[in-house]
Structure 1
């Protein structure tokens, strides 16, 4: 099982100077993860929200990371495909692939928040169909095939994206928030699957992984894909000296992050219109419940021994890679110290 580093964003209403510092934090963590031998760096695509303000463009940030790292894979986690033209997605990530000498890849997300789709308002209603339907096209364009598209005069013309990527096949995942149908769709398309431990029980994940493996085995082969696929699970991570010390340290920032996530969820106008907005007290109660449940199972928040047991459990469950979510509100020095402790566990879970 591989270990990678996931950025997902823990911003409040910050100014430009704060954001400069946050990019410097990302670069410092990236250098450290590269030196310690982590498998990949995942950067998200997030728009217009309190959480994740510095992550509007995974390929732009990955290009910067390509210049300061040597061996670690650079992945978008995730690219909201319905917000972008497939040609532009392939062009952008082919640049990253060249700058990194063949280390690019990304996970496709359908998108969920209605506010994001001010970038492509006509693509919101059928966003899932667009995302899944464009994955075969992404693979063909990456492999050097031309595609037929409408130009500025309304004519259909054949174009081939440039530059030519280093990797002959595009490493792809499909992002899921937990829907069994999405896990099965990832298997049918023979992509990897990018999920999360938070909000799901061990039993739920065992069922989802089994569905994914079965769909993958039944699907036709795709260039550059392995025989069983890749299950990547995101987990909040902070490895400290003791369980008690870690839980005291992460309580405030993680609770703040969970409250921000809940506020973002309830502000989604694309959600059920009959659902009333949550009151602040309700958000606090839900965040407290989620925090306590998450400490019980699914996180890498604790001592090296506790985290080693969780990694072994995830491996037994069928997880191929844990994407360690590190930027949920801790300071740079704390994150780097945690990565060093986590790196010491890598050989045991490899």
Structure 2
């Protein structure tokens, strides 16, 4: 008897791929910034903090000649480019770089820069600022570092929104981290609006288009599947929020994995349908790797479920445009 005939048939599995998923325009710009710096100026290129929160991307850039550091004092006196990550940095970082005459290139996502500018305007107008975000996240550290101590009060939860005390309830504004849960943030803003009727809001919401679109795409497929995989890093805020969004939308078996090797296969025993998405800093090659891993164990059919189309593009920082090194 042929060996193939004795092999048990693989169970069928319907895979729904969320679209949009994966890289956003800010992440593409940040990764391109490092690669273009290597092309124009050669290795090494120093990068403060992970350029984006994805181990695969960071390791790939290391192989090409990028050196990642957490603080500027780890960078030697050099004329090599020093790139600031997509998450943004406190004002003290570019000031320190200028003080050492380092060749600094800011790859902060323009949508994070928008939040920084909003906060600066509020501060100039004498408003105290409520910052909705996660303590210690690089983006929050960078935003708080735009202004003097005491300019912000951090609000992390709905409970904190109910109890936060402010110096002047009539002279108050809020900004948010760009990668938060839409639902959690809406709840906190609703509470703050009731408590502080004079609260000044952003002209356009701070949660970025990519975070919004990826969460909405997950909500569309989560009720249709037995399990859902988010491809992303555990320290990626937007990836963690995707997993939470899937759970809230009706898929209790939602997990975050970085690579196929991280999959806990017993969790997926007996499923007939699977949702797959990726955080904004996860490359498509890792999505393909995950789908291939399931295809090795299941008879897979793949469908893409598109909730919206994206066409956002951010140009590279000026120092990295093609004529910069001429």
Q: What is the TM-score of this pair, normalised by structure 1?
A: 0.30
More helix by share: 1
Task: Please tell me whether Structure 1 or Structure 2 has the larger radius of gyration of its CA atoms.
Answer: 2
Q: What is the TM-score of this pair, normalised by structure 2?
A: 0.31
